[in-house]
Amino acid sequence: MDFVHLLMHGLTEIPSNTASMPVTHYLPKNTATDGSHSAYLFYPQAYGHITMPAGLHLSFHPLPTFGFLYVARGNGNITFGDHHYSMAPNSFVLFDGSKGFSFSSVSNFEYDILYFNGSPAPCFYEELSSNNGLFLSSLSASGLNSYLRPLLPTGSQTMAPFVFHRLMTDFLSELIEYYSASEPGDTVPDYLRQMREYLDQNFFKDISLDGLESLFGVNRYRLCREFRVHFSQPPLQYLHAARIAKARLLLAETTLKVHEISYQVGYENTNQFIHHFKKVTGWTPAAYRERKR
């Protein structure tokens, strides 16, 4: 079975708002892959330039793939495993599809995507994951555009296996070097590690920037700036992502009512909870629970 058929079978359901356009319109194209080298080289599985209308949500069961997504226009979200990122123009994310993944569009969302695999992939992914190197809010600011562009095919062109492997190795190696630069200013300050741990363990509490400023003794503006530099998103966005991740588990695994879950994960206002949940997942809590059932 080719990879695009795997994607089709991996869809958790066909979205209801694809009536005017078949769901295959939002999936990439297969690449011509020479399987004889797949045991030791990077190899492409599928690629595409995708435009999703506002409000579309695509969710996939776990699949044997890695991928990267680069945003050309619009805004959307990507979730994979325990990771969630809000995507904007020029942002980039590397993801692992082995734990399931989903895309949702906030506005008309236009992006390039490449699915790939190969024996080196898990090693590179693990290294980048350990260095918080899965997401870039601005690829151009990193200077890595020139490494990414050759990996995105145009038209019907195909790429020789060793050429693709070299380009992918170069790109991921540069990405690792970008995140693991040894300059003192690039190390994560202890207070930021402590703050992230605090947010992970206390997400259900009433947390504000004023409270974090007082707790860690760091100016709130510096706190926000440095947290975003090292962890790819500001602290309150990280907090909401942690709350929604817990809410998804409670919706799928318990019979608690929506307002009860809202309170348990730190939202006293249920409407606020529903707003954030839909912004992150593309679904209301009730619709998400029904889909999981």
Q: Residue 80: its pLDDT value, please? A: 93
- Alpha-carbon distance 47 to 27, whole Å? 9
CA-CA-CA-CA torsion for 142, 63, 58, 287, nearest 10 degrees? Answer: -120
How confident is the model over 31-61, as pLDDT tens digits? 766 556 667 899 999 999 999 998 899 999 9
- Alpha-carbon distance 122 to 285, whole Å? 33
Which of 92-106, 150-164, 183-197 is most confident? 92-106
Question: What ranges in the chain are assigned the alpha helix state H?
Answer: 3-10, 121-130, 139-142, 145-148, 161-179, 190-201, 209-216, 220-231, 235-253, 258-264, 270-281, 285-292
The domains found in the chain, sorted by start residue, are 3-179 (2.60.120.280), 190-292 (1.10.10.60)
* Average pLDDT value over all residues in the chain: 86
How confident is the model over 71-126, as pLDDT tens digits? 999 999 999 988 888 898 889 999 999 989 999 998 889 999 999 999 999 999 99
Q: Residue 219: its pLDDT value, please? A: 87
Strand 135-136 versus strand 76-80 pairing type = unpaired
Contact criterion met (CB below 8 Å) for 50 and 113: yes
Token couple for 231: 């962890």
